[in-house]
Amino acid sequence: MISVPALRLHQFGVVFYQCSLGVRDVQRLVRFEVLSYGHEGRTRSRRPTKTERGAKINWELLEEKIAHSESAYQRQVIQRKIADLIDYYLQCAEAQNLPAIPGAVLLTSERRLSFIPVSAHRVLGILQLPSEEGCLRALDGQHRLLALHQLAEQGDPPDVQVPAILFDGLAPDQVVELFVTINAKHTRLNPSHLISLSGRRLYPDPTLAAAHEIVRTLSEDPASPLHGEIKLFGVGRGRVAQAPLAEELKGVLTALGALGGHQAEQFRERSARFFLTYFRVVSNIFPRAWTGKRYSIKTAAALRAFIRVVPDVLGRVRQMGAEPTDAAALHRVMEPWGAQLGDARFETEGEWRLKQGGGTRGTVEILARELRAALAP
């Protein structure tokens, strides 16, 4: 066990601890991880190999310290922020007139921690931390701690005490809610990252969770016509943000769910498969626009319009007595789009631009009305 002086604090029924950790403690005890499916969290873009003050950054070593998991909640590491923090730490070390980390970082422990009071009011005491590597998880201050870890790897660890707030025994949904509360406004957490967290972890919203899974499937399935086109968590090479698509999908799923019955529940369970088939049909009806560079059919506005008319498409398919995932039935219903709208409707410098006068929202609804009107009776 590692024993550190600490204060035991109470706030609205929650007990937590305030203490200080040495750099060696941070290196050994703190675990870093980012929300990722596969290895999207790896830093693949151009990375500074040196800071302005000449300190070298070993990104490979740093990335070995960062785990990637579907159960994590932290966003991907911002390389420039790490470099700037290392520069700032070096400046503080040279000037000796500023504290490098004056504010407390927030850490969580899945295990209950032992606290031994040493004062009559039982607030001041000794906190006993497990000595196992990675027993603490960074909730807030991950970049500050990673930069400190990198600086320590380059030579003798700096003589720095890191103020820390430790929470033990919080449920996973409490940890995520605390993370979102801290980051949603103050650091402008990306909306797509919030979408990924909210449906799965923050609160039990099966509709938003289903919407999130549809977006993931469309982006990650190699058979999807939108494979790699969607920017999950607000990062990546995709051109379309995740959040507006997920919100549009949630609206459609909510509307279909309002109809009730086994049919609505069955559709939600098979919704990812349906949207894969649906967008394959769309790509076949507009082949030139889908593969061409001078078209706007794969923008957020156009994709939202295609999603918005799904209830109308499903209504026609059901009238035919076909299954929602029947590609042939979907093609028969949607085929008039090719003749009545055509690829030219999505030319960026053509009709698409002319009909954008009402702004993005107007563009979505205008295109949705055209798609509804052109459906096969």
Model confidence at 111: pLDDT above 60: yes
CA-closest candidate to residue 274, choices 242, 241, 318: 318
Distance CA 67, CA 200 (A): 19
> Which own/partner contact pairs does 351-354 have at CB distance under 8 Å and 24+ positions apart?
352/295, 352/296
The confidence score (pLDDT) of residue 23 equals: 86
Lowest mean pLDDT among 24-38, 134-148, 185-199, 362-376: 185-199
Strands 14-22 and 30-35: unpaired
Distance CA 208, CA 74 (A): 19
Which helix (H) or strand (E) covers residue 268, if one does? helix 261-269
Lowest mean pLDDT among 237-251, 258-272, 335-349: 258-272
Contact 34, 74 (CB under 8 A): yes
Specify the length of the chain in residues: 377
The confidence score (pLDDT) of residue 174 equals: 75
Q: pLDDT digits over 273-323, tens only? A: 999 999 999 999 999 999 998 999 999 899 999 999 999 999 999 899 999
Q: Could you tell me the pLDDT band of residue 150, with boundaries at 50, 70 and 90? A: confident
Q: pLDDT digits over 61-79, tens only? A: 666 667 676 666 666 777 7
Model confidence at 367: pLDDT above 80: yes
Contact 95, 61 (CB under 8 A): no
Q: Could you tell me the pLDDT band of residue 41, with boundaries at 50, 70 and 90? A: very low
> Is pTM, for the whole model, over 0.75?
no
Q: Taking all residues of the chain, what is their mean pLDDT, rounded to a whole number?
A: 80
What type of residue sits at position 273? Answer: R
Model confidence at 258: pLDDT above 60: yes
Model confidence at 241: pLDDT above 60: yes
Beta-bridge partner residues of 34 = 68
Q: pLDDT digits over 88-105, tens only? A: 888 787 777 778 888 888
Strands 240-241 and 14-22: unpaired
What type of residue sits at position 298? Answer: K
Average pLDDT on 14-41 reads 77
